[in-house]
Amino acid sequence: MQTLEVISVNIWQILISLANLVILTLILKKFLYAPVRKMLDARRSTIDAQYADADRAKNDALAAKESYESKLSTAKDEADAIRAEAVADAGRRSDKLLAEAKDKADAIVRRAEEEAELERRKAADDVKREIADVSTALTEKLIGRELGDKDHRELIDSFIDSIDSAEDIGESK
Amino acid sequence: MENNGQKKDRRFIIIDRLYLVMAILPLIVGMVIKVLVTPASEGIEITGARIYFTIPMPLQDLPITESQVNSWLVMLTIFGLCLWLTHGLTERAETKRQLVCEFIVEKTDGLIASNMGEKYFSHFGPFIAAVMSLSALSSLITLIGLYTPTSDMNVVAGWAVVVFVLITYYKNKCGFVHYLKSFANPALLTPLNVISEIATPVSMAFRHYGNILSGSVISVLVASALQGLSKMLLGWLPGVLGDIPFLQIGLPAILSIYFDLFSGLLQAFIFAMLTMLYVSSGFPADDWEKLQAKRLAAKKVKTA
């Protein structure tokens, strides 16, 4: 069988080889690069979508956390305000109660004193009257006759008054 | 439903096998043809490709030789490999072969991006991959005893012509006048520039073809020398033992690792690299950008 020379140039063979390379390029483009690129693009888009999802979820979580924290801080402030108000209210109320109680007690004491005074006066009047009666009776007995009621009673009363005032002086001493 | 899925699975496997057969069968066919046409006893001779038949053509007859047939077989193999590799691609990369084809695509893209820039040549992947795979596999089929198409100058010259066309196309992007002017860059060196322009594809073709051919020539020479030496030194052995070239054990294998494996892959890589460098350096990117900007401005003026 014939063989070519080691070095031989043939235009048609060159053209065939040229066409071979072009055809192989097209084959590789169509059957290797196109499917692989398509797959890579699909993968990229899925990965991008997943990243976007992750970002969105993260942002949501951050927003939720922020609102939660702000709510928490406002809640604390609110609680502080409420407590302060309550404390102030309680203080005010207790002051008021105390004042009222003091007033009441004072009133009671005053009334009691007034009553005591009244009682004392009454008692003093009673005593005066009785003393007057007794002394009248005594004097009638001693004198043996009835005193002219009006004059004598005045006399006795003035006497008792003098005693009274003397007593008062003694008391104040 | 499950039955349907199983059926689909079986169909998938059958198609898978078919693709694999398509990738391997051409090489087996090549070996069978080689065995059928090679005469039984052959002395040591250094020749070109075997001619199967000749087609009469104008200008020059076209002999269909081993190099053409083997090129086609290699192309079929690559086609089958492509189909097999990309069969059943998923977004989640469930198979090893998917990693392989992703690796191929990403590596060639990365190589192009680093050698040619990402801006204008991102679509060059398939071409560079075609150059590399065709060249490497053509050189590597000597490992299964087939004639390497790359040791036929016509084959590599065809590729070099493609590269030359590409270089010229990209040089002409700024207009033919710009292309002509680029030769007269220093006006005195114009003839040299023209010569170097033509020398580019010639040198590319000769480099590749010469390396591969010289490798096989050296291998044959060393093997025949070792046979002669063996006959001289060990010819006294009785009977059949004297005819066995013992000295051929070892050294030719190591030479084959260098010339067939290493040199073949290296030449494929060099050819692809030179293609990328020549095409990208031939493209006047700055002038092209200026021209584009000017055209854009003119368009704006026109519309306004």
pLDDT digits (tens, 9 = 90+) for B194-252: 898 999 999 999 999 899 989 888 888 888 888 888 888 877 777 777 777 777 788 88
Domain locations along chain B: 2-32+60-303
B127 chain-A contacts, CB cut-off 8 A = 25
| A13 with B67: Cβ contact below 8 A | yes
Does this model's pTM top 0.80? My answer is no
A3 chain-B contacts, CB cut-off 8 A = 47-51
Q: How many domains does chain A have?
A: 1
State the average pLDDT over residues A118-147. Answer: 77
pLDDT score of B25: 93
Domain that holds residue A67: 12-172
pLDDT score of B281: 87
| Residue B58 near chain A (CB below 8 Å) | no
Query: How far apart are the C-alpha atoms of B78 and B258, rounded to whole Å?
Result: 24
How does pLDDT run across B113-137, given as a tens digit for each residue?
Answer: 998 888 888 888 899 999 999 999 9
Residue keyed to tokens 């709510």: A71
pLDDT at A172 over 60: no
Confidence of residue A28 (pLDDT cuts 50, 70, 90): very high
Of the given ranges (A1-5, B96-100, B217-221), which has the lowest mean pLDDT? A1-5
pLDDT at B265 over 70: yes
Mean pLDDT of chain B: 86
- Contact indicator for A127, A119 with CB cutoff of 8 Å: no
* A3 domain-assigned: no
Instruction: Give, for A20, the enclosing helix (H) or strand (E).
Output: helix A11-28
* A153 domain-assigned: yes
A21 chain-B contacts, CB cut-off 8 A = 130-131, 134, 158-159, 162
pLDDT at A137 over 60: yes
Residue from the list A2, A4, A33 with its beta carbon closest to the beta carbon of B126: A33
Of the given ranges (A74-83, A153-162, B293-302), which has the lowest mean pLDDT? A153-162
Cα–Cα distances in angstroms (integers) from residue A134 to residues A137, A144, A160, in the given order: 5, 14, 12
Q: Which amino acid is at B45?
A: E
Q: Which residues on adjacent β-strands are paired with residue B54?
A: B63
| B48 with A5: Cβ contact below 8 A | yes
| Residue A165 near chain B (CB below 8 Å) | no
Count of H-run helices and E-run strands, chain B: 10, 2
Residue from the list A3, A17, A31 with its beta carbon closest to the beta carbon of B47: A3
| Residue B67 near chain A (CB below 8 Å) | yes
| B62 with A2: Cβ contact below 8 A | no
Restricting to B residues 115-154, those with a Cβ less than 8 Å away from any Cβ of A are 125-127, 129-131, 133-134, 149, 152-154
Sign of torsion, CA A57 A59 A64 A68? positive
B36: nearest CA partner in chain A: A1
Confidence of residue B1 (pLDDT cuts 50, 70, 90): very low
| B46 with A6: Cβ contact below 8 A | yes
Residue from the list B71, B85, B157 with its beta carbon closest to the beta carbon of A20: B71
* A4 domain-assigned: no
More confident residue, A130 or A152: A130
Q: Which residues on adjacent β-strands are paired with residue B65?
A: B51
Of the given ranges (A27-41, A153-167, B218-232), which has the lowest mean pLDDT? A153-167
pLDDT score of B71: 93
pLDDT at B88 over 60: yes
